[in-house]
């Protein structure tokens, strides 16, 4: 047969999913098409490489990638400002007032600071500059100074003049505020406006001019005011509308009468603050839109600041004052180059001899000195660490002029000590707050203020010696402002929000876990298969880190539950496949069934699964469980059923897991429904066996944890329409039920239980019934335990002996005349169970209460072959009737004998006699 061409096949449609892409025409191809391509018959000639054309093409020049910015390495900028010599020449009256005020100079009422300020101005009215020989420090050049000891010290201690160099700039005593601002603060402001954060800290002895430099006076505004003016000036030059938003916060750290440090918000509505790690909690940031507004805020803060009069300063600052100027970009689309400019006015180190402080003021003075000392110590250690990072640099350079040269370890210990929170008296809060600066992560500028008087030599010399290593400090890898602010923002979040943030990140990870969980749901067959083929160890519950989350915990529990259920079903399947268990169903081996059933269980428990399951289920805290185990119809052949049964349950864990996963109810319903068994005996046998062990393993651990109040145990024996062997199987199904529910009931606290065992029609032959009776041989023992542990108030045992075809009238009459006694004993149950009990569903539903059996008239079914089938079954009815159990029952009072039980016994005896067993 000739192959047809594709064109002859009209129904064939070729769909190309991924059509070939057309090559994008190059400029050369579009402008200079190859003529040979248009005429393929022409001899192709290899054209020369169009190098000229290519070279003529203009290739857009791309800017080469910028090399990564080198790591910023900046030296700590240290400025030195020499205060003009101020001699206090108060008149007699002012001096008297000064001494009076000095007595009561302890942290003044902020409201009275105006008065003290006025007093200060009145007492420091005269400023004179001493002659050159009266000063201890002179400007050598713009970066160095000469410190000269007083003549007295030169003669006695032979101290020579020293040169301190390396300053970024030295401001002479006659320098103006504007000069200081232009050279020292303006670069900081420019960086600030460019998004770089910075710190300006004023350090020096008391009365050296720190506050004057930082805040100034109305006539000589300080760096804060000048900086604010510059900031708004620059910001307004960028456009009519401010693209940035500025906020100012002012707070102070002061000593609470020597009891400890306190932080106070100096903003108008500010109060006490607290520090958490390196952040100030509750600090108010006041939005400002103009320099005047900011100046007003600063002036108000200065009125609130803690000051006092000392011998060295009529208005000595008794606290560290910190001003933050935050810059925020208003445009959300703009580059987030937020920055903060921090200006710190530290308390000045003071000597007791000069200040004349006593008592609590002396403690406060110690606090102040410690603050300065620790701050300087941190910087010195910082310089030491800088040396360690650059060992080539001689160490002595760092401490050339230092008075104290402790070993390195001592510095490190002191460094840690400075950050320690255990010693509040050294003011760790300031160093903690400025830790990023002290550790070199942010840009910092120091302004050292000194007094030039000859009596100020010691203070000046001490400061210069302490600060001499500062100039060598290098800040490498300075954190970018945006990064810093982001980190700072996170740090400023309360713990709860941080935890949320962490949780969010964790949740993100857990979202992936959740995804995997969902994937596990989708791949549950694989999971279950893994569990099925693995031992108990490998079938350990999947570890989920999110147990703390309720939902995931629920999932975890449910997953374990499903695994436990699956293991039970696995055991059940194994039991079905176990030939010993299969032989148990052979006639005459019924007794052995009960004897070997535990053995089968033991064998299957050898992997430890039940115990494992119990442990797993013990984790179940859910209030609601629905376990719906329904034996579905067994329609197939025996072999098919035997294998189909576990297959049916293969999916049960998945279904149950999914079902139970969604359940949040309070009630538990255990509905075990044995459906119709229509198949052959082997089929029923398999189906029955399934029902035998499913509850035993599944529900025992489950119910051991159940705390619910309502249980409904509905055991429904379906109609057994099949042959005697079918009934035998169906009956056998209930043989194990009491044993199973023995454990169930042991945990039940419910008040109402209804065990409705309804004997339905006995359609089989006498041998069938006989066989059925044998199936219940072991039931009394089980039931006895069951009922002995049951605390129910109401028990209704409805055993209905339905018609038996082989002895229709007699049995029917006997049975129907008997009424059920609720107080039937297990023994009675045992005796009654010798009848092939079968409970139609319809009856069971309607029979939750005790109703006489004669109300119901089950169908009569004739099964002619039943007697022959039962002939093969060696029933031990005689033995059973003569069983000690029966004797035990005889011991009971006649009142305890229920009519139903008696009727059942009579029925069985009639069966025996009529069937000639
Ligand atoms: N450069 C200066 N020009 C004129 N006066 C100055 C200068 N520096 C300081 N003063 C004056 O010296 C006095 C003390 O200055 P200031 O209060 O600033 O010292 P301080 O270092 O802040 O002291 P403390 O640490 O005790 O607060 C103030 O009256 C101030 O006006």
Phi, psi (5° rounding) for residue 91?
-75, 180
**Ligand 1, pocket-test mutation among 87, 201, 209, most atoms within 8 A of CB:** 209
> For 444-534, where are the E strands, in sequence order?
444-450, 474-476
Beta bridge partners of 450: 82
CA distance 862 to 326: 98
Average pLDDT over residues 204-227: 90
> Ligand 1 centroid vs 65 CA: distance in angstroms?
52
* Residue where the block lists tokens 């749901």: 521
> Ligand 1 centroid vs 314 CA: distance in angstroms?
9
Name which of 197-206, 234-243, 762-771 the model is least confident about. 762-771
Q: Give the percent of the chain with pLDDT over 90.
A: 6
Q: What number of other Cβ atoms are within 10 A of residue 381's Cβ? A: 22
CA distance 73 to 470: 15
Nearest CA to ligand 1 atom 29: 124
Name 72's Cβ contacts closer than 8 Å, sequence gap at least 6.
Answer: 475, 476, 477, 478
Name which of 17-31, 194-208, 512-526, 652-666 the model is least confident about. 512-526
Task: Using pLDDT thresholds of 50, 70 and 90, give the confidence band for residue 778.
Answer: very low
pLDDT of 821 over the 70 cut: no
Task: Using pLDDT thresholds of 50, 70 and 90, give the confidence band for residue 430.
Answer: confident
Average pLDDT over residues 893-905: 54
> SS3 letters for 164-205?
EECCCEEECCCCCHHHHHHHHHHHHHHHHHCCCCEEEEEECE
Phi, psi (5° rounding) for residue 614?
-60, -40
Q: Which residues of 585-618 are buried (b: 16+ CB within 10 A; e: fewer)?
A: bebebbeebbebbeebbebbbebebbebbeebbe
Name which of 91-100, 459-468, 798-807 the model is least confident about. 798-807
Token pair, residue 859, equals 């169908």
Nearest CA to ligand 1 atom 1: 83
DSSP-H helix ranges across 840-898: 841-846, 866-871, 877-881, 884-891
Res 325: pLDDT: 92
> Ligand 1 centroid vs 288 CA: distance in angstroms?
28
Taken in order 438, 439, 440, 443, is the CA torsion positive or negative?
Answer: negative
Task: Using pLDDT thresholds of 50, 70 and 90, give the confidence band for residue 225.
Answer: very high
Res 323: pLDDT: 93
Helix (H) or strand (E) holding 488: helix 481-492
pLDDT of 138 over the 70 cut: yes
Tens digit of pLDDT for each residue in 117-127?
A: 443 443 333 34
Nearest CA to ligand 1 atom 12: 209
Summary mean pLDDT of the chain: 57
Res 347: pLDDT: 78
CA distance 900 to 814: 9
Nearest CA to ligand 1 atom 8: 209
Res 54: pLDDT: 67
| The ligand 1 atom nearest the CA atom of 177 | 1
| Cβ–Cβ under 8 Å, residues 462 and 403 | yes
Check residues 771 and 243 and name the one with the higher pLDDT: 243
Average pLDDT over residues 428-439: 77
Res 277: pLDDT: 72
Token pair, residue 489, equals 């923002």
Taken in order 348, 352, 356, 357, is the CA torsion positive or negative?
Answer: positive
**Ligand 1, pocket-test mutation among 124, 223, 313, most atoms within 8 A of CB:** 313
Tens digit of pLDDT for each residue in 484-521?
A: 444 443 334 334 344 444 443 333 333 333 333 333 33
Average pLDDT over residues 51-64: 63
Q: Could you tell me which of 793, 783, 776, 798 has the C-alpha nearest to residue 845?
A: 798
* Residue where the block lists tokens 């050049």: 141
| The ligand 1 atom nearest the CA atom of 208 | 21
Tens digit of pLDDT for each residue in 547-601?
A: 445 666 677 677 777 777 777 777 777 777 766 544 443 433 333 333 333 333 3
Name 204's Cβ contacts closer than 8 Å, sequence gap at least 6.
Answer: 210, 348, 349, 448, 449, 450, 463
pLDDT of 74 over the 80 cut: no
CA-to-CA dists, residue 674 to 347, 694, 769, angstroms: 89, 12, 19
> Ligand 1 centroid vs 885 CA: distance in angstroms?
110
Tens digit of pLDDT for each residue in 679-726?
A: 344 444 443 333 333 344 444 443 334 334 333 333 333 333 433 344
CA-to-CA dists, residue 903 to 757, 779, 796, angstroms: 15, 18, 16
Nearest CA to ligand 1 atom 20: 207
Burial of 66 (0-12, 13-18, 19+ CB in 10 A): exposed
Average pLDDT over residues 329-355: 75
> Ligand 1 centroid vs 169 CA: distance in angstroms?
19
Burial of 669 (0-12, 13-18, 19+ CB in 10 A): middle
Bind-site residues for ATP: 204-211
Q: What is the DSSP letter of 324?
A: E
pLDDT of 60 over the 70 cut: no
Site residues for ligand 1, CB cut-off 6 Å:
83-84, 86, 124, 204, 206-212, 313, 316-317, 347-348, 449
Q: What does the DSSP assignment read for 699-719?
A: HHHHHTT---S-EEEEEE---
Tens digit of pLDDT for each residue in 286-339?
A: 998 888 888 888 888 888 887 777 776 777 777 889 999 998 877 767 666 778
> For 470-595, where are the E strands, in sequence order?
474-476
**Ligand 1, pocket-test mutation among 79, 81, 83, most atoms within 8 A of CB:** 83
> Ligand 1 centroid vs 891 CA: distance in angstroms?
113
> Ligand 1 centroid vs 290 CA: distance in angstroms?
27
Tens digit of pLDDT for each residue in 728-769?
A: 433 333 333 334 434 433 443 444 343 343 434 434 434 444
> Ligand 1 centroid vs 802 CA: distance in angstroms?
114
pTM: 0.45
pLDDT of 177 over the 70 cut: yes
Task: Using pLDDT thresholds of 50, 70 and 90, give the confidence band for residue 183.
Answer: very high
Res 226: pLDDT: 93
CA distance 770 to 881: 12
Average pLDDT over residues 639-659: 39
Nearest CA to ligand 1 atom 2: 83
Res 79: pLDDT: 94
> Ligand 1 centroid vs 438 CA: distance in angstroms?
25
Check residues 25 and 158 and name the one with the higher pLDDT: 158
Q: Could you tell me which of 379, 387, 384 has the C-alpha nearest to residue 470?
A: 379
**CA angle, residues 717, 720, 722, in degrees to nearest 5:** 155
Nearest CA to ligand 1 atom 4: 84
The ipTM (two decimal places) reads 0.98
Check residues 142 and 535 and name the one with the higher pLDDT: 142
Name which of 360-369, 459-468, 553-562 the model is least confident about. 360-369
CA distance 895 to 798: 18
* Residue where the block lists tokens 């320099």: 291
> For 425-557, where are the E strands, in sequence order?
444-450, 474-476
Q: What number of other Cβ atoms are within 10 A of residue 874's Cβ? A: 14
Q: What does the DSSP assignment read for 593-611?
A: HHHHHHHHHHHHHTTSHHH
| Cβ–Cβ under 8 Å, residues 370 and 429 | no
Helix, strand, coil abundance in the chain, percent, nearest 5: 50, 15, 35
pLDDT of 618 over the 90 cut: no
Bind-site residues: 204-211
Q: Give the percent of the chain with pLDDT over 70.
A: 31
| The ligand 1 atom nearest the CA atom of 86 | 12
Res 673: pLDDT: 40
Average pLDDT over residues 237-260: 76
Nearest CA to ligand 1 atom 6: 209
> Ligand 1 centroid vs 212 CA: distance in angstroms?
5
Nearest CA to ligand 1 atom 16: 209
CA distance 202 to 444: 11
pLDDT of 876 over the 90 cut: no
């Amino acid at each position: 047969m000739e192959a047809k061409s594709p064109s002859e096949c009209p129904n064939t449609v070729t769909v190309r999913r991924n059509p070939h892409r057309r090559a994008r025409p190059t400029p050369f191809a579009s402008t200079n098409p190859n003529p040979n391509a248009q005429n393929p018959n022409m001899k192709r000639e290899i054209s020369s490489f169009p190098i000229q054309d290519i070279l003529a093409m203009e290739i857009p020049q791309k800017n080469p990638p910028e090399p990564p910015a080198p790591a910023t390495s900046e030296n700590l900028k240290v400025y030195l400002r020499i205060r003009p010599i101020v001699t206090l020449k108060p008149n007699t009256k002012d001096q008297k007032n000064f001494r009076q005020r000095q007595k009561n100079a302890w942290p003044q009422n902020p409201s009275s600071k105006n008065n003290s300020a006025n007093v200060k101005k009145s007492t420091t009215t005269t400023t004179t500059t001493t002659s050159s020989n009266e000063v201890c420090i002179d400007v050598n050049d713009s970066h160095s100074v000469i410190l000269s000891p007083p003549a007295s010290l030169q003669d006695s201690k032979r101290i020579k003049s020293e040169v301190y160099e390396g300053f970024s700039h030295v401001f002479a005593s006659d320098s103006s505020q504007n000069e200081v601002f232009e050279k020292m603060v303006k670069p900081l402001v420019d960086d600030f406006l460019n998004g770089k954060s910075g710190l300006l800290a004023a350090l020096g002895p008391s009365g050296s001019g720190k506050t004057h430099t930082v805040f100034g006076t109305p006539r000589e505004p300080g760096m804060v005011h000048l900086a604010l003016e510059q900031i708004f000036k620059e910001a307004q030059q960028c456009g009519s509308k401010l693209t940035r938003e500025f906020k100012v916060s002012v707070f102070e750290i002061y000593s609470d009468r020597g009891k400890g440090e306190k932080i106070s918000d100096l903003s108008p509505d500010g109060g006490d603050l607290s520090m958490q790690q390196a952040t100030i909690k509750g600090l108010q940031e006041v939005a400002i839109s103009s320099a005047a507004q900011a100046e007003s805020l600063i002036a108000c803060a200065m009125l609130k600041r803690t000051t006092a009069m000392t011998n060295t300063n009529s208005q000595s600052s008794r606290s560290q004052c910190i001003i933050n100027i935050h810059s925020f970009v208003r445009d959300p689309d703009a580059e987030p180059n937020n920055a903060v400019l921090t200006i710190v006015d530290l308390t000045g180190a003071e000597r007791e001899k000069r200040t004349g402080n006593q008592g609590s003021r002396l403690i406060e003075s110690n606090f102040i000195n410690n603050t300065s000392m620790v701050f300087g110590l941190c910087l010195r250690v910082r310089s030491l660490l800088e040396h360690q990072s650059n060992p080539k640099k001689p160490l002595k350079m760092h401490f050339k002029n230092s008075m104290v040269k402790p070993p390195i370890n001592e510095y490190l210990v002191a460094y840690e000590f400075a950050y320690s929170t255990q010693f509040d008296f050294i003011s760790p809060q300031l160093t903690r707050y400025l830790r990023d600066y002290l550790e070199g992560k942010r840009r910092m500028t120091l302004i050292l203020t000194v007094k030039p008087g000859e009596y100020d030599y010691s203070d000046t010399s001490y400061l210069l010696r302490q600060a001499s290593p500062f100039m060598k400090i290098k800040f490498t890898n300075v954190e970018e402002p945006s990064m810093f602010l982001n980190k700072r923002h996170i740090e400023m979040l309360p713990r709860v929000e941080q935890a949320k943030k962490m949780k969010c990140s964790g949740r993100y990870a857990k979202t992936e876990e959740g995804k995997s969980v969902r994937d596990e749901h989708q791949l549950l067959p694989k999971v279950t298969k893994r569990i099925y083929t693995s031992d108990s160890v490998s079938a350990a519950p999947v570890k989920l880190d999110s147990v703390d989350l309720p939902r995931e915990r629920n999932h975890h529990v449910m997953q374990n539950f499903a695994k436990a259920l699956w293991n039970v079903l696995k055991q059940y399947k194994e039991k079905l496949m176990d030939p010993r268990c299969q032989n148990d169903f052979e006639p005459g081996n019924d007794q052995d069934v009960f004897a070997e059933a535990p053995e089968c269980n033991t064998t299957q428990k050898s992997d430890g699964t039940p115990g494992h399951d119990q442990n797993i289920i013990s984790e179940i805290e859910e209030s609601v469980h629905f376990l719906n185990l329904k034996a579905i119809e067994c329609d197939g052949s025996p072999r098919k059923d035997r294998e189909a049964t576990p297959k049916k349950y293969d999916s049960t864990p998945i279904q149950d897991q999914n079902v139970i996963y969604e359940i949040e109810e309070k009630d538990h319903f255990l509905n075990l429904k044995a459906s119709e068994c229509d198949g052959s005996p082997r089929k029923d046998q398999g189906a029955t066996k399934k029902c035998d062990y499913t509850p035993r393993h599944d529900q025992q651990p489950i119910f051991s944890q159940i705390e619910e109040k309502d249980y409904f145990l509905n055991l429904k024996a379906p109609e057994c329409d099949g042959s005697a062997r079918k009934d035998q199987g169906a009956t056998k199904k209930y043989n194990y039920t009491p044993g199973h529910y023995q454990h169930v009931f042991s945990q039940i606290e419910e008040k109402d239980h209804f065990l409705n065992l309804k004997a339905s029609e006995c359609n089989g032959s006498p041998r069938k019934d006989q066989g059925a009776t044998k199936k219940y041989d072991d039931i009394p023992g089980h039931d006895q335990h069951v009922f002995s542990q049951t605390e129910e108030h109401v028990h209704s045992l409805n055993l209905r002996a339905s018609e038996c075809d082989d002895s229709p009238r007699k049995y029917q009459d006997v049975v129907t005349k008997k009424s059920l006694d609720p107080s039937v004993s297990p023994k009675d149950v045992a005796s009654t169970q010798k009848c092939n009990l079968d409970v139609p569903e319809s009856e069971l539903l309607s029979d939750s209460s005790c109703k006489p059996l004669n109300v119901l008239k089950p169908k009569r079914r004739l099964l002619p072959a039943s007697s022959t089938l039962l002939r093969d079954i060696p029933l031990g009815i005689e033995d059973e009737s003569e069983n000690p159990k029966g004797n035990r029952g005889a011991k009971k009072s006649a009142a305890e004998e229920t009519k139903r039980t008696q009727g059942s016994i009579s029925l069985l005896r009639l069966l025996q006699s009529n069937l000639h067993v």
